[in-house]
Structure 1
Amino acid sequence: MDHQLAAALESGSFAHGLRTAIRMRGLTLEQVQHELADRGVVVSSVTLSYWSRGRSQPERAESIKAVKLLEGILDTPTGSLTALLAPPRPRGPRRAHVAVSIDRQRLWDEAHRLDRVMAQLGSQDEERLCLLSVHDRFQLDERRRPTRLTITEVLRAQRDRVDRALVIFQGRELGRTPKLTVVRGGWPGRVRTDEGAGFLVAEVMLDRVIDSGETAVIECALNYGSHAEPMTDYDRRLPYAARGYLLEIEFHQTAMPVRCHATTRPTIEHVRRDVHELSLGGAPHAHLALFDVAPGIHGLRWEWE
């Protein structure tokens, strides 16, 4: 075994050991991802990137299985990478810290299908861009149906020469997908979907190339047709902490809900919890404003009757 790889495996750092092993084998993260998929385990290249940079670590049974397979793929001694894994982070309400990041598999239903859609677009935006803040604005009509979702994101480059971002959307009826447009900050690129799982991933070409540390603002809109169903909730999935999140729901003046709650849950494995009830008054809108937002699923739900 190469001396450099041996030293990395003895460093005590799983991220360093994994990163060095991948580099020594001359593989890209996408190639490693495909090797794992060929062996029956689906792990996104974004997750592999997080593991190799120490932003998260394998903890679930499927992830531990992936690490064991990686030892064979990367030609490291059996048990060498597994031995570097730190003890699982404590779960439940008594934990004293917030996770730095959350595996996308724990944020989306059928996330393995989302991984496949994103893989069709090559390198993932999480590897190149960090989401600093996001503003979602939903507009509903008099029949309680969505007419337009506007998404505004403030992004910061994690490396040089970044020229595109990805927007992820999941809807109940993607077979009749709302049309996506780029309002400002760039222009639309490729769009890939999985209608069965309801996923749409759209590429936004930035209006200028940005280098590491520079920021960009993009605004996209999803316009719905008359086929849309009445809405009762909306949430945002954040794989890592963000500085701010603003969600606005604009109701029609003739179709106001009777109650509205802010909601949260750490992962899809948890039951959605009401944080507090919003006072609607007579205004035809509600909003949720969060700062220094923890990774997880945050949003609003409302009751019509």
Structure 2
Amino acid sequence: MRLDEVLASGPFSLALKLAIRGSGLSLDRLQHKLEERGTRVSKTALSYWQHGRTRPERPESLRALAAVEQVLGLEAGALSSLLGPPRPRGRWLAQQPNSLRLDEAWARPDGLSRALQRMGTSLDALHRLTKVGVHITSTVGSNHKMLESSYLVVVRAAQDVDRYVGAFRTDAGMVEPLRIEDTVGCRLGRLRDDAATGFCTYELLLERPLRAGELTVLRYTLRSVTAEIDAYQSHRAAPGLLDFSIQVRFDPSCLPVRVYRTHRLSIADSEPKETELWLGASHTAQLVEVNPSPGIYRVAWAWD
């Protein structure tokens, strides 16, 4: 896509990413040039902005964004005009005890809404089943890209229901459509995406309808082909989750130099504390929680 086209319609994250790429500056050089202008902004924040994980909202962040526009040779307001209204603040769990508030659980929740609409459903579909147990096993290949992520999910019906609706998003850019395979206890229904924001939504049709309160176990595998390398696996844990784990297995010929875990209540939170994870003889890192606190859990890694 061309920068001028994205500056006209958004999204903000893609416009920033294309502008940085077009400038020829690395994030280190961009940060250095900003500091020369008296503007301090972390490289992590710049990376999060261009990948849509967070966006500048606080006054100091908006001032930094104005300096970014200057350094990148853009007109004043070219990027800030794409931000839209500020996201609501506050503890999303306190306000919606049975769900994650989407504006703080996902970057660009508008893309999630559009993908669901294209699938003929709505945000309400995400909460008709309560996740009681979630276990994710991801495999990262020698090309530094995620080969697949297998899910074992124990769900309880919050109402009479015949399908499970899920959402997937990547910052690495999809080269091919998402594939969902190896289903047990369900079969693939509709699948829709929102290319501008990297969202894909999918439905798994249950082998038998559930009455409110009934439990079932689902297994399935997500396979994707991304344009860029992958740097994390994450999951949004809602209230009601009792048993949770993420395992990430790396190709033994190409191991990361560092693997760590984070947890934060929302994407608007400040940079979360990083806890190192052990990568043992099985070349697998693990995040395991019983009765986890709600929020966004992530296993991340660095190649250099």
In 1, are the aligned partners of 2:111 and 2:196 still within 8 Å (CA)?
A: no
Aligned partner letter, 1:116: R
Given the superposition, is the C-alpha separation of residues 298 and 98 from structure 1 closer, same or farther in structure 2, using an over 3 Å criterion? farther
Whole-Å Cα distance in 1 between the matches of residues 155 and 144 of structure 2? 32
Post-superposition offset of 1:241: 4.3
Tell me the residue number matched to 1:206.
206
RMSD: 2.8
- Matches of 2:271 and 2:263 in 1, distance apart? 6
- The answer to whether residue 112 in structure 2 is matched with residue 114 in structure 1 is yes
DSSP-derived class of the 1:117 partner: helix
Cα shift readout 1:217-260 (whole Å, capped 9, x = no counterpart): 112212234x5532221211234341121101010111112221
Checking the alignment, whether the CA contact within 8 Å between 1:103 and 1:239 is kept in structure 2 is no
What whole-Å deviation, never above 9, does each CA across 1:266-302 have from its counterpart, x for those lacking one? 1010134234211224331111001112221101111
User: 2:256: which partner in 1?
Assistant: 257
Contact 1:147 1:223 in 2 (8 A): yes
TM-score relative to the length of structure 2: 0.64
Tell me what 2:25 maps to: none
Report the equivalent of 1:125: 125
What stretches of structure 1 of length at least 5 have no aligned partner? Answer: 1-59, 65-87, 92-96
- The answer on 1:169 being equivalent to 2:168 is yes
Cα separation, partners in 2 of 1:98 and 1:253, compared to 1, 3 Å: farther
Q: Which amino acid aligns with 1:118?
A: L
- The one-letter amino acid paired with 1:277 is E
Give the drift of 1:116: 2.4
Q: Is the 8 A contact 2:87 2:103 kept in 1?
A: no
After TM superposition, the runs of 4+ consecutive aligned structure 1 residues lying more than 4 A away are 60-64, 88-91
Cα distance 1:150–1:281, how it changes in 2: closer, same or farther (>3 A)?
Answer: closer
CA contact (8 A) 1:264 1:272 kept: no
Task: State the one-letter code of the partner of 1:230.
Answer: I
Structure 1 residues 117 and 239: alpha-carbon distance in aligned structure 2, compared to 1, 3 A threshold: farther
**Within 5 A, what are the aligned runs for 1:14-33?**
none
Measured at CA, do residues 274 and 98 of structure 1 come closer, stay the same or move farther in structure 2, by a change above 3 Å?
farther
Show the 5 A alignment for 1:240-255: 240-255=239-254
Counterpart residue number, 1:140: 140
Distance verdict in 2 for CA 1:196–1:297, change over 3 Å: same
Matched residue, 2:100: 102
Amino acid at match of 1:137: T
In structure 2, relative to structure 1, the CA distance for the partners of 1:90 and 1:298 (3 Å cut) is closer
Matching residue of 2:217? 217
Matches of 1:218 and 1:148, distance apart in 2: 17
Letter of the aligned partner of 2:192 in structure 1? R
**AA at the equivalent of 1:183:** T
TM-score, length-normalised on structure 1?
Answer: 0.64
> Which is greater in Rg?
1
Equivalent residue for 1:237?
236
Once the two structures are TM-superposed, the CA of residue 90 in structure 1 deviates from its matched residue by 11
> 2:251 & 2:91 partners in 1: Cα distance?
44
1:102-161 CA-to-partner distances (Å, cap 9, x unmatched) read 31111111102212222343253334211111111111112221111112211101122x
Asked if 2 retains the 8 angstrom alpha-carbon contact of 1:135 and 1:152, the reply is: yes
Aligned length: 216
Q: Residues 209 and 287 of structure 1: is their aligned pair in 2 closer, same or farther, counting only changes over 3 Å?
A: same
Which amino acid counterpart does residue 278 of structure 1 have in structure 2?
L
What is the identity percentage for the equivalent residue pairs of Structure 1 and Structure 2?
A: 25
How far apart in 1 are the matches of 2:92 and 2:149? 36
Distance 1:251 1:212, change over 3 A: same
Which moves more between the two structures, 119-128 or 194-203? 119-128
In structure 2, distance between residues paired with 1:178 and 1:115: 18
Distance 1:110 1:130, change over 3 A: same
Query: Is the CA contact (8 Å cut-off) linking 1:263 and 1:272 kept in structure 2?
Result: no
Rounded Cα–Cα distance in structure 1 between residues aligned with 2:151 and 2:219: 6
**Contact kept? 1:99, 1:295, Cα under 8 Å:** no
With over 3 angstroms needed to count, the CA separation of the structure-2 counterparts of 1:222 and 1:276, relative to structure 1, is same
Structure 1 residue 268 corresponds to structure 2 residue 267 = yes
